[in-house]
């Protein structure tokens, strides 16, 4: 097995890990109202999914 000759510096390690971040957590923005919602699910705020209203949401 090849072993690294030099310890990776904080800078190089940081540059490498700069791509490791996840874009979004467990939420995406709703296409219709922009609220955060769970991916691949009906938006709880407006009842839309795939640009169609599938749930009746009572307006307050």
Site residues, Zn ion (CB under 5 A): 30, 32-33, 35, 43, 45-46
Residue among 1 and 60 whose Cβ is closer to Zn ion:
60
In 10 A of CB 37, how many CB atoms? 21
Q: Distance (Å, rounded) from C-alpha 57 to C-alpha 7? A: 57
Q: How far is the CB of 22 from Zn ion (least distance, A)?
A: 22
Nearest CB to Zn ion, comparing residues 33 and 55? 33
Nearest by Cα to 49 from 37, 23, 60, 58: 37
Nearer to Zn ion by Cβ, of 13 and 55: the residue is 55
């Amino acid at each position: 097995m090849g072993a690294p000759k030099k310890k990776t510096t904080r800078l190089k390690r940081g540059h490498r890990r700069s791509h490791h971040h996840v874009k979004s957590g467990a939420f995406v923005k709703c296409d219709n109202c922009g609220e955060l919602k769970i991916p691949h699910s009906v938006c709880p705020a407006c009842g839309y999914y795939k640009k169609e209203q599938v749930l009746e949401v009572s307006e307050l």
